Structure 1
Amino acid sequence: MKKNSLKILCLLFSVAAIAQQPKTKKEFTTSGKKITVYTTAENSKLRLTSTDNLTFSAAKQPLETEFSVFVEPAKKFQTFMGIGGAITDASAEIFAKLSKEKQAEFLNAYYDQQKGIGYSLLRTTIQSSDFSSGSYSYIEEGDKDLKTFSIDHDRQYRIPLIKQAIQKAGGKLTTYVAPWSPNAFMKSNKNVLKGGTLLPEYYQTWANFYAKFIKAYEKEGIPIWGTSTQNEPMATQTWESCIYTAEAERDFIKNYLGPTLKKENLGDKKIIVWDHNRDLMNYRANVIYSDPEAAKYVWGMGFHWYETWSGGAPMFDNVGKVNEAYPDKKLMFTEGCIEKFDAAKYQFWGNAERYGTNMIHDFNNGTVAWTDWNILLDQNGGPNHVGNFCFAPIHADTTTGELIYTPSFYYIGHFSKFIHLNAVRVSTAVSRSALLSTSFLNTDGTMATIVMNQSANELTYNLIIGAEKSVVKIPAHAIQTLVY
């Protein structure tokens, strides 16, 4: 009887152990799958257009003369957390000038997953930036105790647009914020413009400012996911700007910003460091992440694409090197736009290809999220109170009330529409430099492979996954998303 009881007990333990084992995820397979191809191409009407339905067949060793894209679903990397753009004062002011019909069209274009390109990420500013009609503050000058703090300025244009964007996106947009400058009285140059540094005696006041802002926005029904320490902390600009060396940013986070957010019950808010170009990101990472007391408060690093101002090429490898050195910290592209607005170049294809190239390289180097700059500007590339006029993916001509969609909008859409939240990037490589590619496995089991043709020729390429392949045509200067 004892032996039988022991057997039953062992059996129960075995059943319990099996029940507790994690269920193995079904491996990705191409078996029985069809490929839907969406294409955007220069000198055509193709704009996120469904252009082909393909099937898989047996693959064999490709030749050196062929163009091929290789996807290995078993090799998985970072988890995707979104693509979006910035709602600046400029974007919100122009949106307010549109007719109700055009406002609805605009919101659908960016934030509706079916009708539009499905943005899931949003950046906005703490106080004014160059893309405001003028400089402004949430406090009266000299108020070190922040007794006059109020976000009333933002209630006119910015907050209403953010709320509508969140609603259109299905009730959730991962929203993060960034300051361009502390108030003049807190700075070494006594000016919100033209650089300067935060005076040490105002470190605590400024840390309190972030907490006040986050709480004020959350009271408005706008959840804040995180904040960067400072937009472009090594750039002395003609507009709102403030300089932090790597050591200064480290110490501000370690001694003030991190502890203050924690004390104010905002310890769940993510802190993003750097928020500037790829050129110096490795130094900033080394200094801040090597200090455990600072690093414990930091979610990861934000970066921009403007390092090409010096005449060099984009420093994509630096992103990968930060990722390699600090794999426990995340990477987020926090700002990019096409500079030097020129209305004659609304449809200039090179602008869109800049987006495609940057996005593919950044994702392949470990980036988890990607944020464009202004979501909307007017026919002058503004408003901008210091004349720093730029492009946005969509412009509004305020004289006619029409929306102008640039090719960049569609190139971004090839990623944001088809890569879903919590997708995982998988290994993807190309055999020829004319092509660029990245792939993400969505949680519903579908794969989205983005392929960009940088050449002036139509190309035929193999999409090879394991022992199966499909043969795909891509027009000259085009981008495709293959969903399968």
Structure 2
Amino acid sequence: MFSLAAFAQQPKTKKEFTTNGKKITVYTTAENSNLRITSTDNLTFSAAKQPLEIETSVFVEPSKRFQTFMGIGGAITDASAEIFAKLSKEKQTEFLNAYYDKNKGIGYSLLRTTIQSSDFSSGSYSYIEEGDKDLKTFSIDHDRQYRIPLIKQAIQTAGGKLLTYVAPWSPNAFMKSNKNVLKGGTLLPEYYQTWANFYAKFIKAYEKEGIPIWGTSTQNEPMAVQTWESCIYTAEAERDFIKNFLGPTLKKEKLGDVKIIAWDHNRDLMNYRANVIYSDPEASKYVWGMGFHWYENWSGGASMFDNVAKVNEAYPDKGLLFTEGCVEKFDAKKYQFWGNGERYGISMINDFNNGTAGWTDWNILLDQNGGPNHVGNFCFSPIHADTTTGELIYTPSYYYIGHFSKFIHLNAVRVSSAVSRSALLSTSFLNADGTMATIVMNQTDKEVTYNLIIAAEKTVVKIPAHAIQTLVY
């Protein structure tokens, strides 16, 4: 089984990074321009001295190393797979290359998919007949039409490996307190074991299809009563389900290497969930780490980036993985709205700087209506397909994500990176081949000239207004 070690751990080898003889290639994406991950400059290092307060500087310290990078990717939902199937063969190839080819595209290396239906399915469905508590009718035939073929092609395009993890949106209606896969409800205690067995059956069925499963979350968004498939777990209920059923069942079914991801919901309540689950040694031993989403701004407040850092600070031996984010409330007039891309850049830089090992977007593809979605919850994806014209529409989000996924390689290590002025955001990763990727983002309306300073060396870079750059050196 394809398995990776705990990403939260620091690497054992610390090969020294040097700027000696290195050239810096600058790639830029900017609003009101044709620059889209475009090589815009080739620079060299020169001697650095104490920067002035009136200058803007990005400081990188390669000897200070943190989490190991596990990848960036998106979710292959039923919706994405159904729309992909409607594309011409030529457009399908273009699409696969755009996401999964490191040279022709942005080199996705992570994949999330659903156990049974989600809102981004054309309708609700199950792998068993309703009432089948022994799971005798279990079959993933539904997924063989669209989803599994797309996952296999994505893996092939990515070079044969995509770190794949899964999440359920709801148990079957007969297992739940509200007798409905939609609108929340809770898993009834008498079906805890049946539901734990369900994960094992799903994982084995996908692995039989040649799709190795790295991990599973307990439940997508366990504190949200949604109009679509949803199920509520308090922190205590999730702890007990993992400790007494899911963890032991996966182990018994010889799936002990499959990582369990707790929470899989917004940053707002993640600290409480971590405290409850990780403080119980019997539950904690089964949990790889915590997944989180970015939708806490539904309350009208700002993104709670610091909560990720606080979980990382309190539980440094546990992994952190951003498991879902998308721009809600689809509006075709906003395909090229730059703020949507900037939302990705801001989140990715903050989440990585706060200890996240990987970052997963939501749907990789939706149609010109932001669907299909069986409850009308239409959203944006980085690439849309207009099924009336057969064309692919690339949004700013695709390029912002690409500034990370194309240049940070698997098993890279995040290093210390800081900026001297709030106009810029930055993060840096040292790749295993000795190259550094420093991402710099300018959220302001003005071009910014900044120093990139590493030890006693520096270079001077210009970044346009509302732009993101990756410096490779």
- The alpha-carbon deviation at position 345 of structure 1 amounts to 0.1
Alignment of 1:406-425 (within 5 A): 406-425=395-414
Please give the secondary structure, in 2, of the residue aligned with 1:19. Answer: coil
Distance 1:14 1:228 in 2: 16
Q: Where in structure 2 are there 5+ consecutive unaligned residues?
A: none
Aligned-residue CA RMSD (Å): 4.6
Q: Where in structure 1 are there 5+ consecutive unaligned residues?
A: 1-11
Distance 2:25 2:228 in 1: 46
User: What residue is the counterpart of 2:243 in the other structure?
Assistant: 254
Distance 1:15 1:278 in 2: 25
1:245-300 per-residue CA deviation (whole Å, 9 max, x = no partner) reads: 00000000000000000000000000000000000000000000000000000000
Q: Which deviates the most, 425-434 or 18-27?
A: 18-27
Distance 1:132 1:208 in 2: 23
Please give the secondary structure, in 2, of the residue aligned with 1:426. Answer: strand
Compared with structure 1, are the counterparts of its residues 55 and 428 closer, same or farther at alpha carbon in structure 2 (3 Å cutoff)? Answer: same
1:120-142 per-residue CA deviation (whole Å, 9 max, x = no partner) reads: 00000000000000000000000
User: What residue is the counterpart of 1:107 in the other structure?
Assistant: 96
1:24-80 per-residue CA deviation (whole Å, 9 max, x = no partner) reads: 753101011000000000000000000000000000111111110000000000000
Compared with structure 1, are the counterparts of its residues 35 and 292 closer, same or farther at alpha carbon in structure 2 (3 Å cutoff)? Answer: same
- 2:140–2:205 contact (8 Å) kept in structure 1: yes
Distance 1:22 1:359 in 2: 22
Q: Are 2:363 and 1:374 equivalent residues in the alignment?
A: yes
Larger Rg computed on CA atoms:
1
- 2:74–2:364 contact (8 Å) kept in structure 1: yes
Compared with structure 1, are the counterparts of its residues 216 and 67 closer, same or farther at alpha carbon in structure 2 (3 Å cutoff)? Answer: same
Compared with structure 1, are the counterparts of its residues 404 and 286 closer, same or farther at alpha carbon in structure 2 (3 Å cutoff)? Answer: same
Q: Are 2:450 and 1:461 equivalent residues in the alignment?
A: yes
Distance 1:25 1:84 in 2: 27
Compared with structure 1, are the counterparts of its residues 201 and 77 closer, same or farther at alpha carbon in structure 2 (3 Å cutoff)? Answer: same
User: What residue is the counterpart of 1:319 in the other structure?
Assistant: 308
Distance 1:151 1:75 in 2: 46
Aligned-pair identity in percent equals 91
Distance 1:254 1:283 in 2: 17
Which of 211, 219, 224 is 1:230 aligned to?
Answer: 219
Compared with structure 1, are the counterparts of its residues 221 and 24 closer, same or farther at alpha carbon in structure 2 (3 Å cutoff)? Answer: closer
User: What residue is the counterpart of 2:328 in the other structure?
Assistant: 339
- 2:183–2:225 contact (8 Å) kept in structure 1: yes
- 2:427–2:438 contact (8 Å) kept in structure 1: yes
1:417-470 per-residue CA deviation (whole Å, 9 max, x = no partner) reads: 000000000000000001000000000000000000000000100000000000
Distance 2:5 2:148 in 1: 52
Distance 1:24 1:248 in 2: 40
Compared with structure 1, are the counterparts of its residues 179 and 55 closer, same or farther at alpha carbon in structure 2 (3 Å cutoff)? Answer: same
Compared with structure 1, are the counterparts of its residues 31 and 399 closer, same or farther at alpha carbon in structure 2 (3 Å cutoff)? Answer: same
1:224-250 per-residue CA deviation (whole Å, 9 max, x = no partner) reads: 000000000000000000000000000
Distance 2:187 2:339 in 1: 39
Taking structure 1 as the reference length, the TM-score comes to 0.95
1:68-103 per-residue CA deviation (whole Å, 9 max, x = no partner) reads: 000000000000000000000000000000000000
Distance 2:252 2:368 in 1: 45
- The alpha-carbon deviation at position 16 of structure 1 amounts to 29
Aligned residues: 473
Which of 361, 382, 386 is 1:397 aligned to?
Answer: 386
Q: Which deviates the most, 22-31 or 138-147?
A: 22-31
- 2:419–2:425 contact (8 Å) kept in structure 1: yes
Compared with structure 1, are the counterparts of its residues 60 and 238 closer, same or farther at alpha carbon in structure 2 (3 Å cutoff)? Answer: same
Compared with structure 1, are the counterparts of its residues 54 and 150 closer, same or farther at alpha carbon in structure 2 (3 Å cutoff)? Answer: same
Distance 1:159 1:260 in 2: 25
Please give the secondary structure, in 2, of the residue aligned with 1:205. Answer: helix
